[in-house]
Structure 1
């Protein structure tokens, strides 16, 4: 890979972090919205991100862009177990992989320890479990011509709608918050640009690869991880959300332990929430959809139980 292509890839990954910061995409927050306000917007936006990436991959294949596709894995009980661990870890951590990017960008420095816990969880799981790859091909390469045309129309319509909303927002749309759905468009396009020059990439997948010893160039992967967090930092800074918080020992321990469970779960699936949404789910791999659905259900149950315990312990709650 030449320097220009790598620089373009870094820019695309940084833009992905910027858009994620502005749209506030986080699985834990999405489920909280459902519990507290019956608002499914963020959860739909996460699924929409996967669908837009899938549509983009269909178009890239139609114009002859060929890249090495990520591996498929079998959907097993380990997938379900991984989704449960991923969900519990995300609740303890206070954010999923997407949400952690946003928290670090806003200056919540305790979340810098989550990737460390994530790596340790992957390393621990790798000592007794190794997910088996399948010799499978994504259905995206077999779609008929009318699906390609539909993808062109849908992507063009979505870009047009959000472009018009940005124009109405005023002369400085980059300094404002975005809706989760607007963020998904930018995340999808950024991921596709990165896919063209770098291949499929998610920062949790890089950490999993590092634990498995299958990662290629460690320096390259660390640079990409730095780029996504830098993009999030710029997003928070330009919107006025950058408010550094001095980490406390309790919060550091929570992030490390939550990250450990997330890493163990992501290794078992395999894939963190970002890798599932941006890589596995767009490829229409059943294991990815099962893992993400199990994670969401686990987060829902954990938050629901937490709310009940909190109400019971409040002065107005029943004992």
Structure 2
């Protein structure tokens, strides 16, 4: 099946990511510092539309790729906490990293370098902290009232966001809807597009994808983010200094270690794992948000204690 379609979809995805606040760190910070949960609701909108599209792909084609659920254990919680702490050190999750690179903050490229280094270490005995992931038997929506209720909640959120976008003319929600739709089509049909999967394929010596479609899609993602920022006069190329670069490298490394314990990174959780109606995806993502919120709350206190 021709897969050229993922390239324009990736461009639209990158374009939309630069138009709205989809970074988990920024959304959590807005909640912690200002008591506003609108950006977190925006993340729910993304997941809701992704869930609806994945459901339709399964119903219409029967060939969509869906995530498997995994057992809840200490490894999952530890990995989710690491992803949250890594996102804090990086000053942005991997979704936010794409947006920051789109504005010209090129030190964030090192976040992916740190991720690749972590995945490489996790493949061998050097940093093999975790055991194999324990997958659970798949249950269909028809077999699970919980999945039916969750899908219904996602549908309600999707309808609310559509009303806000069309009736209230809030263009922010159009971008959020575009992110959910584009991401779910790409992940649902080409899951190897995820950067963790792409980096792992390189580390395993598998080389480039057939027709180089996945690689061109990744390039299109960042071009879309840059074009979007440039059109809004937000593209200001800068490196950011060695401290920022080290933070990006360290943050990407921590998020990579976390992703080796919890399949995928935070973007995969939000745009594929949670929309695929897995319980572990919700638990891991909420754990990551709590870890970010607690570090935001305790960070200033710790600095004060150190100062004393």
TM range (shorter): 0.7 to 0.9
**Compared CA separation, residues 228 and 289, structure 1 to 2 (3 A):** same
Match of 2:112 among 111, 115, 130: 115
Cα pair 2:192 2:198 within 8 Å, conserved = no
**Compared CA separation, residues 199 and 251, structure 1 to 2 (3 A):** closer
Cα pair 2:23 2:92 within 8 Å, conserved = yes
TM-score with structure 2 length normalisation? 0.84
Alpha-carbon distance in 2 for matches of 1:251, 1:194: 31
Match of 1:267 among 260, 266, 289: 260
1:186 is the counterpart of 2:178: yes
Residue equivalent to 2:123: 126
Written as runs of structure 1 = structure 2, the 5 A alignment for 1:1-319 is: 1-2=1-2, 5-6=3-4, 8-127=5-124, 128=128, 129=130, 131-132=132-133, 134=135, 136-137=137-138, 139-140=140-141, 155=158, 158-159=161-162, 161-166=164-169, 178-179=171-172, 181-195=173-187, 198-199=190-191, 201-208=193-200, 210-211=202-203, 217=209, 219-309=212-302
Range 19-28 or range 154-163, more displaced:
154-163
Cα pair 2:51 2:154 within 8 Å, conserved = no
**Compared CA separation, residues 217 and 48, structure 1 to 2 (3 A):** same
Alpha-carbon distance in 2 for matches of 1:72, 1:205: 18
Alpha-carbon distance in 2 for matches of 1:311, 1:187: 40
Alpha-carbon distance in 2 for matches of 1:13, 1:115: 18
Alpha-carbon distance in 2 for matches of 1:200, 1:143: 28
Cα pair 2:107 2:245 within 8 Å, conserved = yes
**Compared CA separation, residues 191 and 242, structure 1 to 2 (3 A):** same
TM-score with structure 1 length normalisation? 0.81
Gaps of 5+ in 2: none
Alpha-carbon distance in 1 for matches of 2:30, 2:86: 19
> CA offsets per residue over residues 180-211 of structure 1, 9 Å max, x none?
x4432111121244356535743344335545
Cα pair 2:45 2:158 within 8 Å, conserved = no
State the 1:38 CA deviation: 0.2
**Compared CA separation, residues 260 and 54, structure 1 to 2 (3 A):** same
> CA offsets per residue over residues 97-143 of structure 1, 9 Å max, x none?
11101100000010011101011112222322453352532534657
Cα pair 1:18 1:235 within 8 Å, conserved = yes
Alpha-carbon distance in 1 for matches of 2:142, 2:112: 34
Gaps of 5+ in 1: 170-177
**Compared CA separation, residues 212 and 159, structure 1 to 2 (3 A):** farther
When the two chains are superposed, the root-mean-square deviation of aligned CA atoms in Å is 3.1
SS of alignment partner, residue 134 of structure 1:
coil
State the 1:65 CA deviation: 4.4
